Amino acid sequence: MEAAVVDETRLEELMGQVVGYMTGGAMCFGMWLGDELGLYGVLTDIGPTTADELAAKAGCHPRLVREWLDGQVAGGLVAWDADHDTYALTPEATMALADEGSPAFVARAMNALGSLFIDLPKVTEAFRSDGALSWGDHHPCLFSGTEWLFRAGYRAELPGWISALDGVEETLTGGGTVADVGCGHGASAIVVAQSFPHARVTGFDFHGPSVETARTRALEAGVADRTRFEVADAKGYDGTFDLICFFDCLHDMGDPVGIARHAREHLADGGTVLLVEPFAIDGRAANIAENPMAALLYTASSSICTPNSLSQEVGLGLGAQAGEARLAEVFEEAGFSSFRRAAETPLNLVLEAKV
Ligand SMILES: C[S@@+](CC[C@H](N)C(=O)[O-])C[C@H]1O[C@@H](n2cnc3c(N)ncnc32)[C@H](O)[C@@H]1O
């Protein structure tokens, strides 16, 4: 066999890319650690500070804090005044890393990336066997990471997504009933309840610990009186709803057609399904080439979303990059007559289905 010819320039480029990915992974870990230890919060509270002062205020070892800070500075996350040897967060970094209420807060979402590494033995086992790994068998940091990954976006965008649906805002303003299927920790259900105080919102999820957390979150948010969270499979809940929502979860499920059909059977007359899915461009080739989120989402999908789908009845394995055209087929097969894109963001497709 002839030896493959290696293009030294391309090799160098590839190695640069790999080092970039390694740096990205390390910075994700650094953000996770900073959030876990409360370092960003303390840095924001006390303003420009030395490493020793930050360590003392956060109750951490000063030598480790200094090393972490220099990594944060080198990675462009923390600002450093070399003359005074003090560190600070810019207003933008405060939003992304310290302020839980900001629409850009992302630090805690690093829990979800962490779960990929922690769960490597389970994921390799899935790849080598039947492909199945159920959501609930992941490390719990996946559940909180998912909550914090999506929460800021729901708070910023969800009321607008509901406005983009045909007639739903009017119904919910006067009351109405909403189901949030696959609700996880309840981030989306709570935003709906806060936006529409007269509506009754029920969250369903098959993962008991997530439902428990959702109940706690609803209490903390002051909406426990108008929300309910129940352990139920997406094909197993009861009731009739004006709006049935699936936020970033339908593709995770084994039988999206059966689940959409179940939703159709539980819609009130004139009711609507709101389907929010990760952004994707129709056609694999176009999506791979043009969607800036594709590398991240296919990788997460191969280890979290698709294995969960394969662990359930039917095991369709839609994947997190199914795209609008494939999702439309699912809803058509389930008996819906109308399906359209109501809105989109760089991260989400926002789709409306009606009977
Ligand atoms: C990626 S998470 C999204 C959670 C939540 N919707 C959010 O946006 O934060 C997927 C959720 O779907 C739930 N799930 C997966 N399969 C399910 C099923 N068959 N029935 C009900 N829930 C399911 C999981 O437990 C998990 O909470």
Q: Structure tokens of 203?
A: 């969250």
Residue type, 190: I
Q: For residue 3, name the pLDDT band (cuts at 50, 70, 90).
A: confident
Distance (Å) from CA 252 to ligand 1 centroid: 7
Check pocket membership of 184 for ligand 1, CB cut-off 6 A: yes
Residue type, 160: G
Whether 79 shows a pLDDT value over 90: the answer reads yes
- Please give the CATH topology (third level) of the domain spanning 157-354: Rossmann fold (3.40.50)
Pick the CATH number of 8-98 from 1.10.3720.10, 3.40.50.1000, 1.10.10.10, 2.60.40.10: 1.10.10.10
Return the residue whose CA atom lies nearest to atom 12 of ligand 1. Answer: 182
- Encode pLDDT of 122-181 as tens digits: 999 999 999 999 999 999 999 999 999 999 999 999 999 999 999 999 999 999 999 999
Please measure the distance between the N-terminal and C-terminal CA atoms of the chain and give it in whole angstroms.
Answer: 60
From 139, 149, 205, mutation site for ligand 1 pocket: most ligand atoms within 8 A of C-beta: 205
Q: E strands along the chain, which residues?
A: 79-81, 86-88, 177-181, 200-205, 227-231, 241-247, 267-278, 338-344, 348-354
Check pocket membership of 206 for ligand 1, CB cut-off 6 A: yes
| pLDDT reported for residue 148 | 97
Instruction: Show me where the domains of the chain are located.
Output: 8-98, 157-354
Alpha-carbon distance of 43 to 87, in angstroms, equals 8
- Encode pLDDT of 268-301 as tens digits: 999 999 999 999 999 999 999 999 999 999 999 9
Cα distances (Å, whole numbers) of residue 267 to 177, 212, 260, 330: 10, 26, 11, 17
Cα distances (Å, whole numbers) of residue 308 to 68, 95, 109, 115, 246: 35, 33, 20, 14, 16
